[in-house]
Amino acid sequence: MLRDLTLPSSLAPPEDSSMWRPDFLFGAATAAYQIEGAAAEDGRLASIWDIFSRTPGKVLNGDTGDHACDHYRRWAEDLELVAGLGLGGYRLSIAWPRVMDEAGRPNTKGLDFYKRLLDRLQQQGLQAFVTLYHWDLPQHLQDRGGWLNRDTVQRFADYADVVSRELAGRVNAWTTLNEPWCSAFLGYGNGHHAPGLKSVRYAVDAMHHLLLAHGEAVRVLRGNDRAPVGIVSNVNAVKPDSERPEDLHAARLAEACANHWVLDPLLLGHYPEALRELWPGIEPAVRPGDLALISTPLDYLGINYYFRANVGSDGAHGYVERSQPNVERTQMGWEVYPEGLRDLLVGFKRRYPGLPPIYITENGMASDDRVVDGRVDDPQRIDYLRRHFAAVDEAMRQGVEVKGYFVWSLLDNFEWAYGYERRFGIVHVDYRTQQRTLKDSALALREFLAQRRSRA
């Protein structure tokens, strides 16, 4: 429902910002497992998240993505929300288990769903940023080792081939992987995410195979379609707990793990040396040609940013996170620190010669949002977005090429191990009725984008 409202505050960037220009892309982002539901319909296979979320104790309140936001049926309504807000782009992911069977053959019904969705985006003049892998690995591949099995690299290339042949011409930008750090470390290192394994050795192996799969997919996608190809990496700002040498060193190790573990092999062609100190004796099984494949040049780099971590020495060769008092936090408990996004972007420009153009592919916050008299008042989110827009603007003024920004997320959704309790959307979802309600943040964003159009 679109309605008029005296907005509590503006989230617009500075008046002279390049983000006011029509060629700067604003969009909203989602992920298949988090919104689609229809977990067993039209030939969709089980994913690792189906199995993980149904395992007692793994997800808050025992929630699953079986129904989620029912986007599989309500996709047209949801795309109307995107268009109605005046956004220029929509970032979505393909559910691997929905589009292929166990033998690797295409599932026509699943592919047709995405064709209809992408065709509608084209009709609405919206750019489609399509992610191949947003964590929903088919369970039958996990049963054979998942990302610990180098054969999964080839299975991902096969998947990329099928999808890009079927969807060629409908996609404005391809993303191979979303946040390989989360897939590797949270999924295989500490067990917080599917498939729930807990071994640093596993995390290191999984990361290498994920990055190899990215490299293979880049070649496949470029062979089948003309749309630019990139990858999305989550990054964290890191603050040392004190100026003591051991805490400063711990912060460098934390940054190597959080940021450089993914970006160094992609952009420099090698893994960061600091990981050898952090995890002595544990290294990826690199074969000749692996790093050249992983570092295949990108057309763009997606950056997901949410918070800053405060870390100190663990007294050995690692680091630990330490609580920092008297800072603003979100419902997730994450510190709100917009300056970290600016500093990371500027630092990446220095660290990585030839840094490709950047899109902020996720940025947003969770809050305990309620509908009261038809309204969702979320002033912290409006302020959060405004301050992060300003941080992006500051990075651009320092020479970082940022071409767009996608708010996370369009809809409240299944927030992985936190289930449905944490609400990241600019659109509120009543999970019982599936009613969508624009939050004040969505209305503020709509107002800014209308002002931008009026200037064009």
Question: What residues are annotated to the active site?
Answer: 179, 362
33 marked as part of a ligand binding site: no
279 marked as part of a ligand binding site: no
134 marked as part of a ligand binding site: yes
Cα–Cα distance, 200 to 189 (Å, whole number) = 5
SS3 per-residue string spanning 240-293 = ECCCCHHHHHHHHHHHHHHHHHHHHHHHCCCCCCHHHHHCCCCCCCCCCCHHHH
Interstrand relation of 319-321 and 300-313 (parallel, antiparallel or unpaired):
antiparallel
49 marked as part of a ligand binding site: no
Cα–Cα distance, 220 to 224 (Å, whole number) = 6
**Helix (H), strand (E) at residue 301:** strand 300-313
Residues in CB range of 219: below 8 A, 6 or more apart: 296
Tokens describing residue 422? 């944490």
| 6 SS3 class | coil
Cα–Cα distance, 105 to 161 (Å, whole number) = 11
Cα–Cα distance, 207 to 26 (Å, whole number) = 30
Residues in CB range of 241: below 8 A, 6 or more apart: 247, 250, 310, 311, 312, 322, 324
188 marked as part of a ligand binding site: no
380 marked as part of a ligand binding site: no
Annotated binding site: 34, 134, 178, 306, 408, 415-416
Residue positions forming the annotated binding site for substrate: 34, 134, 178, 306, 408, 415-416
